[in-house]
Amino acid sequence: MPPLRYLLWLAPYLGVALGFAFPDCVNGPLKSNAVCNRTQDAATRAQALIALFTDDELMANTVNFSPGVSRLGLPGYQWWSEALHGLSTSPGTGVVFTPSGNFSSATSFPEPITLGSAFDDSLIKAVGDVISTEARAFNNFGMAGLDFFTPNINLFRDPRWGRGQETPGEDPFHISQYVLNLVDGLQGGIDPTPYFKIVADCKHYAAYDIENWEGNDRTSFNAVVTNQDLSEYYLPSFQSCVRDAKVGSIMCSYNSVNGIPSCANSYLLQTILRDFWGFNDDRWVTSDCDAVDNIFSTHHFTSTYAQAVADALKAGTDIDCGNTYAEHLPEAFNQSLITRADLEKALIRQYTSLVRLGYFDPPDVQPYRQLDWSDVNSPNAQQLAYQAAVEGIVLLKNDGTLPLDTSIKKLALIGPFANATTQMQGNYQGIAPFLISPLQGAMNAGYQATFVAGTTISDTSTAGFAAAVAAAQSADAVIFAGGIDGTV
């Protein structure tokens, strides 16, 4: 296990490489700029910084892995980290786990569909608090960002979507209460001062619940939605996230809504989000990854990439998760499709948010900057993960079988989930400190347990049936653990 003092030494170098280093407001080039002046308000500080950027530097820093400005001592920053139900290792994101020892794991909570099934708002807030505590600990050692693209609050309208496990359920009111409490826990309060704990990101805005179904692909799909369905079904969870929980960021989705790609949709991003719900200029909008590219490439909404990036930026998409802004904003700028003021607006929103996260302030005045490995995988966090799993399990029917009679000693555990570990974590998962399969759980409970898969998730072979039947016949009780997973 690497000693903590070694990680303390290594953290600045990891942070620079991964986009999680902090600017030097004591000895660096920015020390005399207002961005380093803690007596100024966040917007004034951000404006002072962005005024120093050249046009090219503005355009280069509109993507999720912003390169920073080396001549100003402003390090690069990775805006994309994930934490759907604990810190996540999803491809492309910033969270890094070490091979062993310190920062090799983080608390793994059940998927949101299970968390939502607990119907326990205080539990959800506590889960958010644990996740953000561990996120800050990882960030302090250069292994995660301060902004997390979570939660997914699209409604689970149709089980054929395939991503229902990422969402709290299908009911607009329930999800509105869920996101209010989760964001409260994640961000360290409702619009907290002096510092946000982390910035959460409510996604995917809006009317998004299809991946690839019968020729309809998420990157080109046009969701035709009435105003009534928008206001009563698709938008209440986002309204709660923005208006009530005061979330720090929003992600616009791949699809179009009524003919206009979400990330170029000023009705969604300006009229509703900012004008009506009060999403102000210390908060930012990111695209889903490559959704800005899709405005041109799959939606065919514009005839050029230059027009696509101009439409997205002017509609209110401040960050492109991808490279389309960096590649094509110079064309749009040279064609006068955008102005320096448009670019500054997006960057000021981003860096105002970072000011509110304490990005430019001394660590010794920030309690969140003191968190370390001892604050990850704590006994309280592990107990909370267990509580969430217990409360979220739904018993559909019991004919007297449960709880199992004390006379039952031998169990046959049958099915493709009966000995599952990482499979049970679902998607957007991290590395858990430990995982207990149903088989191991039965053994820990003192049963004589036998495991036979019998079948897999999706094949039609009956080759394993005989062994499963034999195991069942020799047992006092049979537990079948099956279902689908993300491979289907």
Q: Tokens standing for 457?
A: 């998730």
Alpha-carbon distance of 181 to 203, in angstroms, equals: 16
- Residue entry with tokens 């490559």: 290
Alpha carbon distances (Å) from 447 to 19, 260, 399, 407, 476: 49, 58, 22, 11, 10
Selection from 233, 308, 315 nearest residue 273 by Cα: 315
Give the residue numbers marked as catalytic.
288
Length, in residues, of the chain: 488
Q: Rg of the chain over CA atoms, in angstroms?
A: 24
Helix (H) or strand (E) holding 66: strand 65-66
Coil, helix or strand at residue 263: helix
Q: Tokens standing for 5?
A: 């003092």
Q: How many CB atoms lie within 10 A of CB 423?
A: 16
CB 178, CB 114: distance < 8 Å: no
